[in-house]
Amino acid sequence: MIRVLFVCLGNICRSPMAEAVMRDLVEKEHLSHRIEVDSAATSSWHIGEPPHRGTQDKLKEYDISTKGMQGRQLQKADFNHFDYIIGMDESNIRNIRTMVGNPDSPKIFRFLDLTDHQKDVPDPYYTGNFQETYDLVLEGCHALLEKIKIENQM
């Protein structure tokens, strides 16, 4: 099993959006038995909470469910469990590296560095623009799935 973890600050806007979009792509490609997807926060602020209403509504527009999803915080043990640990922005990357105690691992990288954008995913908690975030998340998830397929002979 290949395990993918998306990480953002609160685990209510960007990383759950990426988790749900990625899981949807994986299901559509009939790869659910090969690829597992999860998300987590660097902060403890929203543990146990469902995704932000804006994330839920945007995903619903694209027929993607957020049922049962709830915020959790990144744990040190996640470093060994997951094969791809993806930060939504540069500050997430810095915090992930510190929290898992493994500053140099190539498992940890910034999401949109997989795309031509090479930038942070804008945080809709502050921008209010869930569409912009969704569009970038979808592009990033396509790029990530291609990378996973190539690196794992799928």
Listed in sequence order, the residues at least 6 apart from 100 whose beta carbon sits closer than 8 Å to its beta carbon are: 74, 76, 78, 79, 85, 108
The rounded distance, in Å, linking the Cα atoms of 61 and 112 is 23
Residue 70 DSSP one-character state: -
Q: Which helix (H) or strand (E) holds 110?
A: strand 108-110
Draw the binding track, 100-139, toward ligand 4NP (x: CB under 6 A; -: no contact): -----------------------x-x--------------
Query: Shortest approach of ligand 4NP to residue 89 CB, angstroms?
Result: 8
Of 14, 23, 58, 110, the residue at the interface with ligand 4NP (CB under 6 A) is: 14
Decide whether 100 or 137 has the Cβ nearer to ligand 4NP.
Answer: 137
Decide whether 72 or 149 has the Cβ nearer to ligand 4NP.
Answer: 72
